[in-house]
């Protein structure tokens, strides 16, 4: 049985679902005002791996992940570019999905846009005001956090210590420092929706509580996101649900930061500007493998070196897939002991490094059996490797379709030079070297061409 760390209780607990064999999960999606960064890539991959593993384990997963398409940052970007914020959101959302497709993240079952749920958000805020749980100030409507039982659960702090730690904000009228905005009254030139308190727009925390409860129902199984969302975003989502008397998420899961040199990733740090940059320069699968190599709650170092190392490991996986391609269609059952070992690792708080250990150990065993031409051993092990790859969304390439790399091109050029100088011994030596790298040189009327062995 899967066990996961629950942020709300601060320990690893059995993951129990509302309905047998069905999982309902909500993962906070992006605010679409710029290209996805590496942190976006990490949370998307972590929860994609969880979803795929649950599906592989026989669960029917309903996965909801939103698009925040109205927000201060989108409005700001629109003002900077002299464009309608809605256009910014549409353009950035398209870029988001393209990046998600590139890194192999399955599309959510439902991907609601915040602007499609504004009426429902107004209803929720209206109810809270009517109950005296929320109050109206000059710039918007606020939740009275003192009336929320257990506020501070996800911060793992008491309300008193949160109050002491809260910055003294410009708005002195708030009843408590931890109170937060549910509905923001509009400033001139901003996109607006009508409400009983005046034209405005929903607060970010109100968006997610409405969309998750509407699309998954009360007491849904899991709410997730990056660790920076636990407080205040998730705390404040939960506070609204509690204030409405509605049961919220049963399990809270948060993944760690992307870091470079021990510091949280920011735009000024690191080798990669953003996720698109990484995808452009590397095999997009390398980021998934890199994410899998760290436990999801640990910090993740993303540098040119760690990505390149993951790429080399992918080469080993692909080479194994090619070597065992003939076994792939045999319909042989995967080795049960291997899958059990994999499950044991993954069920222990999604221990993907442990799962990968099982995978690479199995590859070594299968390679040894291949060397001995022990086909009856190879088949079940190769099937197990394919099954484990499917469980974590690692796509295997049985055929290498990548173009010749810099080294291969340099060797081909050196060979051309040697031939032109009629140094045939050197030319033959280079031909052999290329062949050892998997490339055949064919001399034709238009010069030499390269093709895969």
Instruction: Summarize as ranges the residues that interact with Zn ion (CB under 5 A).
Output: 28, 208
Distance set, CA 65 to CA 14, 113, 343, 367 (Å) = 23, 9, 26, 40
Tell me how far apart the alpha carbons of residues 90 and 81 are, in angstroms, rounded to a whole number. Answer: 14
User: Shortest gap between Cβ of 253 and Zn ion (angstroms)?
Assistant: 13
Nearer of residues 23 and 208 to Zn ion, judged by Cβ: 208
Query: Sign of torsion, CA 73 301 223 102?
Result: positive
Q: Containing H/E element for 408?
A: helix 406-420
Nearer of residues 153 and 434 to Zn ion, judged by Cβ: 153
Q: Are 212 and 26 in contact (CB under 8 A)?
A: yes
Task: Return phi, psi of residue 98, to 5°.
Answer: -60, -45
* Alpha helix ranges (H) inside 2-71: 38-56
Nearer of residues 228 and 309 to Zn ion, judged by Cβ: 228
Tell me how far apart the alpha carbons of residues 185 and 175 are, in angstroms, rounded to a whole number. Answer: 18
How is residue 198 annotated by DSSP? -
3-class SS at 187?
A: coil
Task: Return phi, psi of residue 58, to 5°.
Answer: 100, 5
User: Shortest gap between Cβ of 29 and Zn ion (angstroms)?
Assistant: 7
Nearer of residues 212 and 338 to Zn ion, judged by Cβ: 212
Q: Are 50 and 285 in contact (CB under 8 A)?
A: no
Instruction: Specify burial of residue 94 (Cβ count, 10 A radius: 0-12, 13-18, 19+).
Output: exposed
Nearer of residues 112 and 140 to Zn ion, judged by Cβ: 112
Q: What angle do CA 225, 228, 232 make, to 5 degrees?
A: 95
Tell me how far apart the alpha carbons of residues 289 and 279 are, in angstroms, rounded to a whole number. Answer: 13
Nearer of residues 7 and 352 to Zn ion, judged by Cβ: 7
Nearer of residues 208 and 341 to Zn ion, judged by Cβ: 208
User: Shortest gap between Cβ of 309 and Zn ion (angstroms)?
Assistant: 33
What is the token pair recorded at 430? 């280079």
Q: Containing H/E element for 134?
A: strand 134-137
**Is beta strand 300-301 parallel, antiparallel or unpaired with respect to 439-444?**
unpaired
Tell me how far apart the alpha carbons of residues 236 and 71 are, in angstroms, rounded to a whole number. Answer: 17
User: Shortest gap between Cβ of 372 and Zn ion (angstroms)?
Assistant: 54
User: Shortest gap between Cβ of 66 and Zn ion (angstroms)?
Assistant: 7
Nearer of residues 41 and 355 to Zn ion, judged by Cβ: 41
Quickly count: other Cβ atoms within 10 Å of residue 306's Cβ.
17
What is the token pair recorded at 43? 């949370």
Nearer of residues 31 and 352 to Zn ion, judged by Cβ: 31
User: Shortest gap between Cβ of 70 and Zn ion (angstroms)?
Assistant: 13
Tell me how far apart the alpha carbons of residues 416 and 412 are, in angstroms, rounded to a whole number. Answer: 6
Nearer of residues 210 and 289 to Zn ion, judged by Cβ: 210
């Amino acid at each position: 049985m899967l066990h996961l760390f629950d942020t709300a209780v601060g320990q690893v607990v059995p993951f129990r679902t509302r309905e047998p064999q069905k999982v309902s999960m909500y993962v906070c999606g992006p605010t679409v005002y710029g290209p996805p960064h590496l942190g976006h890539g990490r949370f998307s991959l972590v929860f994609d791996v969880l979803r795929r593993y649950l599906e592989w384990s026989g669960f029917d997963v309903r996965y909801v992940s939103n698009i925040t398409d109205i927000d201060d940052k989108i409005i700001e970007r629109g003002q900077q570019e002299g464009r309608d914020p809605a256009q910014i959101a549409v353009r950035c959302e398209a870029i988001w999905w393209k990046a998600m497709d590139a890194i192999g993240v399955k599309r959510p079952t439902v991907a609601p846009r915040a602007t499609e749920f504004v009426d429902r958000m107004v209803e929720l805020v209206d109810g809270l005001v009517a109950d005296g749980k929320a109050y109206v100030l000059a710039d918007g409507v606020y939740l009275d956090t003192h009336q929320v039982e257990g506020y501070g659960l996800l911060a793992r702090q008491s309300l008193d210590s949160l109050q002491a730690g809260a910055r003294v904000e410009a708005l002195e009228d708030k009843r408590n420092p931890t109170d937060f905005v549910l509905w923001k009254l509009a400033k001139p030139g901003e996109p607006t929706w009508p409400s009983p308190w005046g034209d405005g727009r929903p607060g970010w925390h109100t968006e997610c509580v409405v969309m998750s409860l509407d699309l998954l129902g009360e007491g849904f199984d899991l709410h997730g996101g990056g660790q920076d969302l636990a407080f205040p975003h998730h705390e404040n989502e939960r506070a609204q649900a509690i204030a409405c008397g509605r049961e919220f998420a049963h399990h809270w899961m948060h993944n760690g930061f992307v870091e470079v040199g021990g510091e949280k990733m920011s735009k000024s740090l690191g080798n990669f500007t953003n996720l698109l940059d990484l995808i452009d320069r590397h095999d997009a699968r390398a980021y998934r493998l890199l994410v899998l190599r760290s436990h999801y709650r640990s910090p993740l170092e993303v540098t040119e070196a760690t990505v390149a190392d993951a790429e080399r490991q992918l080469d080993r996986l692909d080479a194994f897939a090619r070597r065992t391609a003939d076994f792939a269609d045999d319909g042989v059952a995967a080795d049960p002991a291997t899958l059990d070992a994999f499950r044991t690792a993954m069920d222990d708080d999604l221990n993907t490094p442990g799962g990968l250990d099982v995978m690479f150990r199995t590859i070594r065993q299968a390679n040894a059996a291949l060397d001995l031409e022990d086909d009856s051993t190879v088949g079940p092990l190769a099937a197990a490797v394919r099954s484990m790859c499917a469980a974590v969304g690692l796509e295997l390439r049985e055929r290498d379709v990548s173009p010749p790399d810099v080294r291969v091109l340099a060797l081909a050029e050196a060979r051309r030079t040697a031939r032109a100088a009629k140094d045939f011994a050197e030319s033959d030596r280079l031909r052999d070297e290329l062949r050892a790298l998997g490339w055949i040189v064919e001399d034709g009327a238009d010069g030499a061409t390269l093709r895969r062995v």
